[in-house]
Every structure is written in C-alpha cells, then in structure tokens.
Chains A and B, each alone.
Chain A
C-alpha cells in the first residue's frame, strides 16, 4: 500500500521529506533517519547525485528505505544518463518495487564537483516523463514492446519563484501533459507569493488531477538565513529574517516559523515537502506545532 500515491490520486494533505545519499557506501546514518521519520511522513525523496556531486545512488537507497517500510520518491535527473540508461533505470527501479519517481533536469555539472564532466541531458524532463509514460503503457521510446509493464507515480518540479513565471507555467503544462501527477517545489518562504503563483497556474492545473507540494525549509539559524539569502533567487521576507535574528533561541524560532508556514499552506496547498537540510530530527516537532498528526 503506497499511502503517498493514494493521497496523490484521491486527495489528502501529503507530507514528504528528503534525504541525501552519502558519499560512500555506508547508508546507515540515512537509514536511521528514514526509520525515525517513518511515522511522520508519507514518503521520503531520495536525491540523485544532488548538486552535481557524486553520491550513493538514488535507486539503491530508495530500495533500502522501501525494505524498511518507508515509501521512497526516487529522484531522477537528466544530467548523467542517456535515453538508454534512463529507461533501463526506470525498469530497474520498477523491478525493485519503486513506484514514485520525481523527474528533474538536475543541477548543471558546472555547479558541482565535476565541472569537466559531460552534461548529458540527452532527454529533457518533458521527454523523460513521456518515456516513463510509454513504459507504463507497455512500450519504450523506440516503440518496442515490453515484457511486463511498470507502474509509476510520476512527479516533476516547478519553481514558483523563478522568473519569468510564464515559462514555469508552460513547463508545468508540458509536464502534466507528459504524465506528471505530482509536483514538488523549491522552498517557499512567503506564503502569499505562493498563493499568487497558485492563482496563475490554476488555469493549467484546474481541470487536471495534479497535486503540488510546496517546499518548506527549516531556517535553523541566522547564519543559515544569511547563507540562503546569498544564494541566487532566494527571497525571504524581512520580517522572517528579523524574527530569526532577534530570537534568543534561533533554532526554536526557525521551527516555529516553519510550522506556521505549514499551517498557512494547509488551507491552500495539497501538502508540503519539508527540507530540513540535515536537521530532520526536528520534523516531528515542526509537524506537531503545525497541528499535523503522525500517521
């Protein structure tokens, strides 16, 4: 029983988190976190060589957490594999029981630790979603029949803060047409900005059964806020920055802010994707303060 997929299809407020595979083959710390988060989240995203750095694979880690009864969302980027490898890995994931797949283009190698690597992008996200959709229907991109057909719950990303917004909406529409049924977003710090975005995408999503789970990040310290503000495209309201800076206990304040954001999103969003960035042990407290009961 895939509770995540069930909520995507039938509705219900979804809660997801994400974990980053380690550099090395020892996944024990990640697995401990997954086990700890199990009662609190519907699924956990497993990133695919995040930030274009070389890590333990998303498919292997997805399978490992699945064995523990945690529902994985296997992230799959277009950066490192051509169409043969991508389709083969989709089949492999399915053979290992992985159903939820989040397809993204992937940070460019220039932003990672292998700047000289070949940026593959043989398929883009819309084409990879299309390929996955064909596999579900029993053929591959080349039109050849499959023995056995995989079953996927396909997702993609949309960036509500990226400019120009018309392009994000166009991509959202193309991804929906290619078979994406859920979306996760970059972190939202300003709920009213997200509401604006929802208003703009409604003409595209309205008639379709797609769920969008906005990302929420735990602002763990003033230092971290400063770091985030230094990143391109990150926009944190001044009032939030002030609250963290002035708080005697910055982490507690960050948890409170995160919980408040989630409570506000509860009325308007299909769920939340919590990015605790190494502080996953605080997710239960965030959810408690947001008034979300564990499973």
Chain B
C-alpha cells in the first residue's frame, strides 16, 4: 500500500492561508491503514484547523479517493473554498479531475510499503515496471539495496549490513541466503529500462 505521513501543521496552514471554507477529503484505503487519512485523522485535523481560525465546511472519507469515479460520485455536489486531501498524490490528482476548486495535500506520500504492523512499514517495491523477484529469491534489489544494484553487491557490506545504513541488512546478503545453490545470481543483468509501459491493458497511463 501507499505509505503516507502527515505534513507539519504550519505547512498545511500556510498552504491554506489564502482560502477559507475548507472541505476535508479522507481516504478509507491506504491512508486509513496508515492512520493518516481515516475518520480519526480527518476529525483531528478538522479541530486543529478550527483552532487556527479556519472555517471547515465539511468532510468526507472516500472509499478510494484515487479512483476518479469515486471522487466524482462523492464530491460532485460539494462546493468548497478549498479541498484539503488526506490521501496520496494519486488521490489529490483524482480530486483535481472533478473540481475546479483549489487543492491542498495534507500528506506526504513516501513509498509503496509492506506493512508489518501499524507504524512499521518496509519499502519493498519501487513500482519499477519490470519485476525481477523471480530471480532474486523474492527479495527486491531495487528497493532493498541502497544503490539498487542488480548484478550483485558493492564491496561495502559489513557483516551482512548495508554500508549506507548499518541498521539495514545488505539486500545481496539476503538474496544469497535465499537463493543458495541455485546459481541464478551468476547471470549478467543488462541495464534497466526506465520507460514504463504507457498502455496497460485497455487503460491509458495518463489520459482519461
């Protein structure tokens, strides 16, 4: 899921300074799981805004604000001076499709994460467009190696820990452990492509 953190309140207030009648949009999916955009988070920020002298005209927690159809369905009759969105950038930009009112994001999306428990997330997928987990024992070198090395490790690992972050395991030490004896590591991996597919099935990447 998309891991988000809330922006500092002063930054949010600064972005809202020219507007009033704030309508708060929450997210019942990822941001609820992260406790950054569910009912409670919406309530909390609503109170903080009021305390700071802002008028809050309403709020709604959308099932999936990143779905334009959902945003359209739930927000088409809402008139607001500004939308404050407690969701990821995909959520903000689907709301953008259905309103001409100004938008302010309340969250910073940080990565696609694997959830261990609330508050403990691992960045295990870069949405790179070309999954290589079949050849690496299910451990992603793009996200879990600090240098995203796909042919093997650098010389910096110390006792299985990464040179860039001694608190993290070296991804390549993990990959070796997982794939031991299978020989798949020996293949030359050519440079990655940074072009993502534009048309995914019937869906276009950018237009709707």
Which residues from A are CB-within-8-Å of B150? 124
Q: Chain B's interface: helix, strand, loop or mixed, by majority?
A: loop
Which residues from B are CB-within-8-Å of A121? 147-149
CA distance A232 to B165 in the complex (A): 12
From known contacts A119-B147, A174-B151, infer whether A130 and B160 are also in contact, taking CB-CB under 8 Å: no
Tell which of B151, B157, B164 touches A162, judged by Cβ atoms closer than 8 Å. B157
Residue B154 interfacial (CB < 8 Å): yes
Tell which of A104, A110, A141, A170 touches B152, judged by Cβ atoms closer than 8 Å. A170
CB-contacts of B181-204 with A (<8 A): 185-186, 188-191
B25 CB to closest chain A CB (Å) equals: 31
Q: Number of contacts between A and B (CB, 8 Å)?
A: 93
B183 closest partner in A (C-beta): A170
Residue A157 interfacial (CB < 8 Å): yes
Asked if residues B164 and A108 are in contact (CB atoms below 8 Å), the reply is yes
CB-contacts of A71-119 with B (<8 A): 78-79, 83, 104-105, 107-108, 110-111, 119
Asked if residues A168 and B176 are in contact (CB atoms below 8 Å), the reply is no
Asked if residues A164 and B146 are in contact (CB atoms below 8 Å), the reply is no
Which residues from A are CB-within-8-Å of B153? 162, 167-168, 171
Residue A158 interfacial (CB < 8 Å): yes
CA distance A173 to B160 in the complex (A): 21
Which residues from B are CB-within-8-Å of A105? 147, 149, 154-156
CB-contacts of A160-191 with B (<8 A): 162-164, 166-168, 170-171, 173-174, 177-178, 186
Asked if residues B151 and A119 are in contact (CB atoms below 8 Å), the reply is no
A126 closest partner in B (C-beta): B151
Asked if residues B155 and A130 are in contact (CB atoms below 8 Å), the reply is no
CA distance A217 to B132 in the complex (A): 40
Residue B172 interfacial (CB < 8 Å): yes
From known contacts A124-B147, A174-B186, infer whether A186 and B155 are also in contact, taking CB-CB under 8 Å: yes
B165 closest partner in A (C-beta): A110
Asked if residues A123 and B157 are in contact (CB atoms below 8 Å), the reply is no
Tell which of B151, B156, B158 touches A124, judged by Cβ atoms closer than 8 Å. B151
Asked if residues A173 and B191 are in contact (CB atoms below 8 Å), the reply is no
CB-contacts of B109-159 with A (<8 A): 146-159
Residue B163 interfacial (CB < 8 Å): yes
Residue A127 interfacial (CB < 8 Å): yes
CA distance A142 to B164 in the complex (A): 31
Which residues from B are CB-within-8-Å of A232? 158-159, 161, 163, 166
A122 closest partner in B (C-beta): B191
Residue B98 interfacial (CB < 8 Å): no
CA distance A159 to B163 in the complex (A): 13
Residue B104 interfacial (CB < 8 Å): no
B152 closest partner in A (C-beta): A171
Residue B173 interfacial (CB < 8 Å): yes
Which residues from B are CB-within-8-Å of A173? 186
A188 CB to closest chain B CB (Å) equals: 13
CA distance A162 to B147 in the complex (A): 17
CA distance A123 to B159 in the complex (A): 25
CA distance A171 to B191 in the complex (A): 16
Which residues from B are CB-within-8-Å of A157? 155
Which residues from B are CB-within-8-Å of A141? 191
CA distance A104 to B176 in the complex (A): 21
CA distance A122 to B142 in the complex (A): 11
CA distance A37 to B48 in the complex (A): 67
CA distance A158 to B152 in the complex (A): 12
Residue A199 interfacial (CB < 8 Å): no
From known contacts A119-B147, A121-B147, A174-B151, infer whether A127 and B157 are also in contact, taking CB-CB under 8 Å: no
Which residues from A are CB-within-8-Å of B149? 105, 121, 124
5 contacts between A and B (CB under 8 A): A110-B165, A126-B188, A167-B153, A170-B186, A233-B159
Other CB < 8 Å A-B pairs besides A122-B191, A233-B158, 9 of them?
A: A79-B147, A108-B146, A110-B146, A124-B149, A124-B150, A127-B190, A167-B153, A174-B152, A178-B188
Task: Give the B-binding residues of A (Cβ under 8 A).
Answer: 78-79, 83, 104-105, 107-108, 110-111, 119, 121-127, 130, 141, 157-159, 162-164, 166-168, 170-171, 173-174, 177-178, 186, 232-233
